[in-house]
Every structure is written in structure tokens, then in C-alpha cells.
Structure 1
């Protein structure tokens, strides 16, 4: 099985999720350090759709500039949120994981088991 994790090595949940994936000998893991690589808007939009998330649900507020950018205001639409997430990758909650079985935001990390 193939798995891709959009990973932040400074995040404990992301590290724990990656460890679960790496413990499985039947899983070929691709690690994307999204803070370094950034996001392509169409890629992010599709990943969120596949995970059943709206941009608002995937918005990381804690430890990000979301509030100072005015993104926590409910009037801010999906397009503006996606644009901000592409400009500031740290605005995307983590870790996101995609496998052959689907995609999900794996918070808590045990959610990854449903994708394996």
C-alpha cells in the first residue's frame, strides 16, 4: 500500500502518525514536508475534498497567523482561506494522510488506522 503524509516534524501528532505508518511493512511511505515544499492550490483543494474537509475545518489557528490575518472571521470564504493556506502553509492543520483507501486529517494520530 502507498501512503503520503503531509508532515511537520515539529508536531508530536505528525511524528506519531508517521511512526504508525513506518511500523507497517506493507506500507510504502512518502513524506512531504509541506512547510518546506508549500502547497499547490489545486492539490490542497483536492486533498481536502478527498478527506471530507472544508478549508475552514482544515484551518490551523493555534500556532499560526490565522487570527492576525483575519481568517477566523466566519465571513471569510473558502477561496480566501485556500489562497491564505497556499501563501502560508502553516495555516493547514496536520497531519494529512492519503493512502490507497482514502485521505484524512489524522488528529488524533489513531485516525490513520482507518486508512490502512
Structure 2
């Protein structure tokens, strides 16, 4: 299965999602989007495929969101995209692309909805929370 993850190694959620993908026996294409941001057209396509709004994928925490006044509801999608192109850290992560769909995987377990392959064993998040049991089943 061909999987792409728009990843930030500094983000625990992103690392957990990458771990869940690998726990399914898949080695994804990892795009470190802060080093290699998606083009404006690609970002628009990803947002469209997620059936999301541009505003819904804006990241506030640890970004220049407030300084740029991006909470202004009058800003257009184009203006928000301009900000994300100028400051890729504003793109929330991780975004995962699979044959089953495109998803902003927050919380990290959301990636399981777009992975066709089953988990191959136990998986715990970095904080120790059990997500997948030893039999490869999702823990509620």
C-alpha cells in the first residue's frame, strides 16, 4: 500500500502516526513538510480530499497564528493559504494520504481509519497509552 505522511519529527502525534503506519507493516513515503512544504495547489487538493476547510487545518499552537491575526474570521481561504505557504508550521499535522483517503490524523488513532492493512502487534503511544493490543486489535 502506498502511503504518504506529511510529517514533523518534532511532533509527538506525528511520530505516533508514523509508528502506527509502520506497525501495519507499511514503510510510508515521509515528507518532512517543514523542509519540503507542499505546493499551494497540492495543499488545496489535500484539503479538498479531506473534505475540510482551509481554516480547519490551520495550526495555532507553537506557530505565528496569533501574531499574524489568523483568527480573523474575515480572512479568505486564499489569505489563509498564503500564510501557510509563507509559514509551513501553520499546516496542522500529520496529514496522511492512502488509497482509502486523506486525513488529518489528530488524534493519532485516526490513521487507522485509512489503513487497509491490519496492525501486526501491540502499539503504545509515546506516553504509554495502549492503542493496539498484542493481537493487533484497536483498544477502545
Determine if the TM-score, normalized by the shorter chain, exceeds 0.5: yes
User: Which range, TM-score by smaller chain?
Assistant: over 0.9
Alpha carbons 1:52, 1:104 under 8 Å: kept: no
Please name the residue that 2:120 is paired with. none
Alpha carbons 1:13, 1:109 under 8 Å: kept: yes
Moved runs in structure 1, 4+ residues, more than 3 A?
Answer: none
**TM-score if structure 2 supplies the norm length?**
0.80
Which runs of 5 or more structure 1 residues have no equivalent in the other structure?
A: none
Q: How does 1:29-108 map to 2 (within 5 A)?
A: 29-108=28-107
Displacement after TM superposition at 1:39 (Å): 2.3
In 2, distance between residues paired with 1:7 and 1:111? 15
More helix by share: 1
Higher relative contact order (CA 8 A, sep 6+): 1
Which runs of 5 or more structure 2 residues have no equivalent in the other structure?
A: 116-140
Give SS of 2:9's match: coil
Alpha carbons 1:94, 1:105 under 8 Å: kept: yes
Give the paired residue count: 115
Q: Larger radius of gyration, structure 1 or 2?
A: 2
